[in-house]
Amino acid sequence: MNQSFSLVDSLAVADLQTYLSRAARVEEGSVRLIAGSGVLAVYTAILYPRGLLDQTPTVLGLRTFATGDDVEFDAVVPIRSLLDRLARAREAAGSDGEAVGPIELRLPLEVSTVTWAGISPPRGGWRPVGEASYELLEATAKAGIAEVADAVPTGTGEQLVQRVRAEVWGRPIDGLEYVPAGAAFAAESLGFLDAAEPVSVLETGTWTRLTTERGHTLIRRQAWSLRM
C-alpha cells in the first residue's frame, strides 16, 4: 500500500484541514482515506452505534480531493495525527495564502479497531429523490443540539449521553422521509450547508445522501425503513 499521497496545492491542504477540524470537534477519532484514479475520498464519522442495542444512526461526512498522483490505498488513521501532518505541510510550504504545490503528505500509522470504517457507502448508483431546504436542516440541527445540551448535564455518564444522542438524532426530519435529524446535525457541523444552496437528496440501496457543493452527508438507513 502507498504510504504517501499528494494534494494539488496548499489551498487543498487548508481545505482538508478545515474539514477534519470540524469533524474532530464532534468525534475526535479516526478518518478513512480511500485513494484511486486521482481522487482522495475522505470519510469522517459523525454518528454511529456503539453496540448491538444502540439505535444511533450511522451518519458519515464525505469530501473528495484531487490527488497529484495516481496512488491507491484504503486506510483508517487518527484524525489528530493527520491534522498535525497537514499543519506541518502548510508551514513548510510557506504559502501565505497563495496556492503552492503539489504538497506531499505521508500517511499516519493506521488503526484497526474502528467499527464504522467497515461500512462502505456505494460510489455509484445514486438516484435523486428530492431536495431539502437550508432552513429546515439548520433549524433541525440547532433544535437537536439544544435538546441534547438540556438533557445531558455536565458530568453525565457516557452511556446516558449516548442514549440521549441516539433518541434525539435518530428522529426523522419533518418532511424528509427516512432521514434522521442526525443528518442535519452532521451537515451543519461539517460546514456543508449554505443558505443560498438547496440540498440534493439521493438514494441507493440502504443509503441516503444529502449533497451540496461543500460536501456529502451519508446516512445508512435501518433495514425496516427501506423504501418499497
| Local mean pLDDT, 10-residue blocks, the chain (228 residues) | 86 96 94 95 93 85 90 95 94 74 91 86 93 96 94 72 90 90 98 95 95 97 54
β 30-36/4-7 pair status: unpaired
Q: Which residues form the domain of 213?
A: 127-225
CATH of the domain at 41: 3.10.150
What is the predicted pLDDT for the residue at 156?
63
Do 49 and 38 meet the contact criterion of CB atoms below 8 Å apart?
A: no
Q: What is the reported pLDDT for 226?
A: 47
The residues that bridge with 130 in the sheet, in sequence order, are 201
pLDDT at 168: 95
Overall pTM surpassing 0.85 (yes/no): yes
Number of domains in the chain: 2
202 burial via Cβ count (<10 Å: 0-12, 13-18, 19+): middle
Q: Are residues 95 and 146 in the same domain?
A: no
DSSP labels, 190-217: TT---TTS-EEEEEETTEEEEEETTEEE
Which residue intervals of 64-157 are DSSP H helices?
79-93, 134-151
Final residue belonging to a domain, choices 77, 94, 118? 118
Residue type, 60: L
Identify the pLDDT of residue 132: 95
